[in-house]
Amino acid sequence: MHFAYLKLKGIATTIRTAVWTDVGTVQNDADETIQIPSRDKKRSITVDVYRPPGQRTTPAIPTAPGPPAGSPRTLNLRIGSKSPSPPSSRSSSSSSLPAIVHAEGAYLVNFHASYSVLDALRRTDVHFLQKMANETNHTVYDVHYRLAPEHPFPAAFEDGEDVIASLPPSSSISLSGFASGGNLALSLSSSSSVAPRVKSVFTLYPLVDYTIREKDLRAPDESVPPRMAPEAAGLLNDCYLYGGADPKDPRVSSAFAPVASYPKDVFIYTAAQDPHCVSGESLVNKLKEAGKDVRWKRYEGCGSFFDKKPEPGADPQKADAARKEVYAAFAEFLKAQAAA
């Protein structure tokens, strides 16, 4: 095993330990958790499934009104805090999970934030996922894609490809993602293997360009410090690129994908206190120039993860209003898309 990998593994372990999130203590609110076969016959991909009310065999879980600031159900990501033990559901064996039953229909495939490394951020999109399932007549898949440095690029991308390939051929498919998961959704939506099947893509504060070092990024609003120190975020990016991945590969950095290959409908919402804001907006401009129907807005007074928990020092009312607006916008779009 190479020394470089051992170094990155040690860094990842240290940062994972330093980052804690209350989601580890919260029950898995998905309707079911399934295993989808991978191209690697020795493994499968875990997916949490949120079904529309008419497709559930158990009573619907009401869409939560949203995570109030300081709620024990909200993301609370800090460096230098203790990390809780992961919930047992993350280590469930495939033999204990139900068989896959794919039906024709509309699907939303989601990719959570992770900095490409942090498994503690899985299941942090629960409020978004419940709203989309409850209100849009879409079956929502939340993908537990593989993480670096144990599984650097292209592992996460290939997991996304495999999940999408498992859906019925005539299904209507949209993608969504947050932060690094937003980049993954954008890269998949524009790739030759997936693009023909994807109708739309929705992202919040996506990281779209791995060629820019974290230390060189500047948020338009630097009145509050970034959630993750640039040095730490840069090391996590190194974990993802370990093995010689080209940061200009469009499967790595969605900013380098041919704009013509993106779906017609693209949602990219940025946050003024997020260091990746400007690079995300550069992609917005390229897509608009190419004639894509891009829904974009920069949310002032908000940073990354504003829909889960505002940055320390940020205005929670602004974050709450922004969360409600972006969730509602995509829900309305998906409802219309499903009815078309």
Give the model confidence (pLDDT) of 277-306 as tens digits. Answer: 999 999 999 999 999 999 999 999 999 999
Calpha distance 198→178 (Å, rounded): 17
Calpha distance 110→129 (Å, rounded): 8
For residue 315 the two structure tokens come to 């205005």
Calpha distance 317→203 (Å, rounded): 21
| Short-list 156, 152, 159, CA closest to 113 | 156
Element (H, E) at 305: none
Residue 120: the pLDDT is 85
Percent of the chain past pLDDT 90, that is, above it, reads: 74
Residue 65: the pLDDT is 53
For residue 162 the two structure tokens come to 């495999």
**Bridge partners of residue 32, in order along the sequence:** 49
For residue 241, pLDDT over 80 is answered with: yes
Residue 1: the pLDDT is 60
Domains of the chain, start order: 3-74+102-339 (3.40.50.1820)
Residue 9: the pLDDT is 97
For residue 132 the two structure tokens come to 């989309």
Average pLDDT over residues 228-255: 97
Confidence label for 59 from pLDDT (cuts 50, 70 and 90): low
Confidence label for 86 from pLDDT (cuts 50, 70 and 90): very low
Residue 97: the pLDDT is 47
For residue 240, pLDDT over 50 is answered with: yes
Calpha distance 93→10 (Å, rounded): 26
pTM (2 d.p.): 0.88
Residue 58: the pLDDT is 58
Average pLDDT over residues 108-133: 95
Confidence label for 314 from pLDDT (cuts 50, 70 and 90): confident
Q: What 3-state DSSP class applies to 323?
A: helix
| Short-list 94, 77, 84, CA closest to 41 | 94
| Short-list 113, 115, 103, 18, CA closest to 55 | 103
Average pLDDT over residues 163-178: 96
Q: What 3-state DSSP class applies to 245?
A: coil
Residue 310: the pLDDT is 82
pLDDT by residue (tens digit) across 184-222?
999 999 999 999 999 999 999 999 999 999 999 999 999
Average pLDDT over residues 264-273: 97
Residue 340: the pLDDT is 84
The torsion angle over the Cα atoms of residues 77, 79, 80 and 83, rounded to 10 degrees, is 40
Confidence label for 17 from pLDDT (cuts 50, 70 and 90): confident
Confidence label for 95 from pLDDT (cuts 50, 70 and 90): very low
Q: Flag the least confident range among 9-23, 138-152, 227-241.
A: 9-23
Residue 20: the pLDDT is 63
Mean pLDDT of the chain: 87
Average pLDDT over residues 217-230: 94
Residue 88: the pLDDT is 35
Average pLDDT over residues 53-76: 54
Average pLDDT over residues 309-318: 85
Residue with tokens 């974290």: 214
Angle, vertex CA 36, rays to CA 130 and CA 125, nearest 5 = 25
Calpha distance 330→110 (Å, rounded): 13
For residue 266 the two structure tokens come to 């693209």
Residue 23: the pLDDT is 44
**R_g (Cα) of the chain, nearest Å:** 18
3-state helix, strand, coil in the chain (%, to 5): 35, 15, 50
